[in-house]
Structure 1
Amino acid sequence: MSNTENFECEYVYHIYTHANGKDLIFREQDNYKYFLDKLVKYIFPIAEIYAYCLMPNHFHLLLRFKNINQNLNEDEHKYLMKQFSNLLNGYAKAYNKRYNRKGSLFLDYLKRKRVNDEKYLIKLFHYIHNNPVNHGFVKDINDWKYSSYRSYINLAKESKIERREMMQYFETINDYIEYHKSNVEYDFLIIE
């Protein structure tokens, strides 16, 4: 089950969650920037992020947890979950204060699915980057500012995204772009 699967170091995961009810997680550009700052603070130290997409009411991450076992005095799942808890709680507190709201901003649990299959990994990469197109926010994937898609187009520009792992599946940047423009069947990609 994707919601109860324990995190383990050195594995790749698709991690995602939604806003509680019909709430929005991101209302304006500053919200996206603040969330990304929190992501850098809490998640980058424990994971290599391959892809992300922030949508108004949900987000997706594709990442591999680093090998941090030697530094842990506690269960690795609890430690990794604590970092996500810090990220989501810190963001929600600031968001609630800014918009004078109370209560839970996110669903009660962080959805997650371990990625054990290369074919699934590539389709998931496409799915995450195309989320704004699939949800009708933009017609062209280049027009969405809140994903890692554009980070891959200019590999010479420094990025916190770990791009080497995913670029091994594409011979050129044009191959990467064409793949993202193509229609991919998400036949075994289960997103709840």
Structure 2
Amino acid sequence: MSNTESFEYGYVYHIYTHANGKDLIFREDENYKYFLSKLLKYIIPIAEIYVYCLMPNHFHLLIRFKDSDQVSNEDEHKYLMRQFSNLLNGYAKAYNKKYNRKGSLFLDFLRRKRVDDEKYLIKLLHYIHNNPVNHGFVENINEWKYSSYHSYINFTKESKIEREEMMQYFETIKDFVEYHKSNVEYDFLTIE
């Protein structure tokens, strides 16, 4: 399904993956912070990050690949995938070493779906930020530390999140917050 779509420069993608089996990707605060540092190292050079949420056993990203003429069209998917491979493999190696474990940490493929529709884009913003609430980890979206939600509501603070793109759909931060409190039907996807 969506894990066969090729990455292309200039397009927005919803990217997500799960831990292998019943494993956790993140066990403690340090894990989340280390993953975010790897995200900055490998993904920020090639993409604008609009939204992210890191959960104990999976994560979601909403990104737009930056335009580039460094790589030919037939090689752009491989080049962009290599950056994600470097991110996931680098994190998994450090995680396995820290917790004295062996084997694959992530599922063997990176799920991805190109986002071509504005309504879908806005629903994904809601879905990704509300993921910790929907999975029962917190009751209130404000309680989850490992998402881009706080970057948006603290808009005056500097951030690596490309917030302007998503904020164009809201007149104020208050509107943004109210949208996240509203009930939105996720009729467009079935994600675990």
User: How many residues are paired up?
Assistant: 191
Matching residue of 2:161: 161
CA contact (8 A) 1:120 1:189 kept: no
* Cα distance in 1, alignment partners of residues 63 and 191 from structure 2: 16
Q: Does 1:172 align with 2:172?
A: yes
Q: 1: distance between equivalents of 2:40 and 2:81?
A: 15
Tell me which residue corresponds to 1:185: 185
TM-superposed CA distance for 1:95, in Å, is 0.1
Q: Which amino acid aligns with 1:71?
A: Q
Match of 1:72 in 2: 71
Partner amino acid, structure 1, of 2:70? N
- CA contact 1:123–1:189 (8 Å) conserved in 2: no
Structure 2 counterpart of 1:167, which letter? M
TM-score by length of 2: 0.98
Q: CA RMSD in A?
A: 0.9
For 2:87 and 2:41, locate their aligned partners in 1 and report how far apart those are by CA, in whole Å: 8
Cα distance in 2, alignment partners of residues 190 and 45 from structure 1: 30
**What is the TM-score when the length of structure 1 is the normalising length?**
0.98
The sequence identity of aligned pairs, in percent, is 83
Does structure 1 residue 110 correspond to structure 2 residue 97? no
Alpha-carbon distance in structure 2 between the residues aligned to 1:190 and 1:159: 30
Question: Residue by residue, what CA displacement relative to the aligned partner does 1:84-140 show, whole Å, maximum 9, x if unpaired?
Answer: 000000000000000000000000000000001000000010000000000000001
How much has 1:176 moved relative to structure 2? Answer: 0.1
Q: Does the aligned pair in 2 maintain the 1:51–1:147 contact within 8 Å?
A: yes
Contact kept? 1:53, 1:128, Cα under 8 Å: yes
Report the Cα distance in structure 2 between the residues aligned to 1:47 and 1:190, rounded to whole angstroms.
25
Q: Which runs of 4+ in 1 moved over 6 A?
A: none
Name the CA distance, whole Å, in 2 between partners of 1:154 and 1:188: 29
Distance 2:130 2:146 in 1: 11
Superposition pairs for residues 2-151 of structure 1, below 5 Å?
2-68=2-68, 70-72=69-71, 75-151=75-151
Shift of 1:189: 2.5
Aligned partner letter, 2:80: L
User: Does the 8 Å CA contact 1:124/1:189 hold for their aligned counterparts?
Assistant: no
Shift of 1:190: 3.2
In the alignment, residue 97 of structure 1 is paired with which amino acid? K
TM-aligned CA deviation for residue 191 of structure 1:
2.0
Structure 1: segments with no counterpart, 5+ residues: none
State the Cα deviation string for residues 33-61 of structure 1 (Å, max 9, x = none): 00000000000000000000000000000
Alpha-carbon shift at residue 188 of structure 1 (Å): 1.4
